[in-house]
Amino acid sequence: AVGPILVMKHMWPLLKAGGGSGTDREVAVVANLSARVGSIGDNRLGGWHSYRASKSALNQLTKNVSVELGRRKDPVACILLHPGTVDTDLSRPFQRNVPDG
């Protein structure tokens, strides 16, 4: 959870300069890969305590950084991406509702 935030911390000067500098964008974009299981409001099954906690922490830390950047008027957008359920041993027991393909 802390790794992506530390990268943002150390890349902050480049991110601030990156918005609009030689690109078509007015802002730089930071995208963190998260998971739906990190949602506190969408936790109906429990389990996966460490994984859920780490994703919840990443989600909250990314939100905090986004608020801070907005307050400072830094040209950086923070987004969280959820790729959906992927085919791994960890998720296999929970794939019955995932369509084939």
Q: Give 59-101 pLDDT, tens digit per residue.
A: 999 999 999 988 988 889 999 998 877 778 877 877 777 777 6
Q: Assess contact for 43 and 92: CB atoms under 8 A.
A: no
Query: Does 4 have pLDDT greater than 90?
Result: yes
Query: What is the token pair recorded at 12?
Result: 């902050």
Query: Confidence class of residue 44 from pLDDT cuts 50, 70 and 90?
Result: confident
CA within 13 Å, CB half, 27: 13
pTM: 0.77
Burial class (CB in 10 A: 0-12, 13-18, 19+), 1: middle
Predicted confidence at residue 21, as pLDDT, reads 63
Share of the chain above pLDDT 70, in %: 94
